Structure 1
Amino acid sequence: MGQLSYAGDSQIVEVDDRVLAHLRLVTVTKLRRGESFPLTLRTAGAATETLWMHASIPVRFTLDEDVELERPMLVKMMAAASTAGGLDLTDIDFAPLWSALPTMHAVA
Structure 2
Amino acid sequence: MGHLIYGNADAPIEVDVELLAHLRAVTVTKLRRNESFALTIPTCDGSIQTLWIHASIPLRFSFDGDPALHRPLLASMMEAANSPGGLDLTRDDYATSLQHSRELQTMSA
- Please give the TM-score of this superposition, normalised by the length of structure 2: 0.82
Match of 1:64 in 2: 64
Higher relative contact order (CA 8 A, sep 6+): 1
The answer to whether the Cα contact below 8 Å between 1:18 and 1:97 also exists between their aligned partners in 2 is: no
Is 1:83 equivalent to 2:90 in the alignment? no
Match of 1:12 in 2: 12
Shift of 1:11: 4.4
Structure 2 unmatched ranges of 5 or more: 100-109
% same residue: 55
| SS of equivalent residue, structure 2 residue 66 | coil
Q: Comparing both structures, which one devotes a greater share of its residues to helix?
A: 2
Shift of 1:57: 0.2
The answer to whether the Cα contact below 8 Å between 1:19 and 1:97 also exists between their aligned partners in 2 is: no
Aligned alpha-carbon RMSD (Å) = 1.6
Q: Comparing both structures, which one devotes a greater share of its residues to strand?
A: 1
Q: Provide the C-alpha distance between the structure 1 equivalents of 2:70 and 2:98, rounded to a whole number of angstroms.
A: 14
Shift of 1:97: 5.1
Displacement over 4 Å in runs of 4+: none
Match of 1:2 in 2: 2
- Which amino acid in structure 2 is aligned with residue 92 of structure 1? D
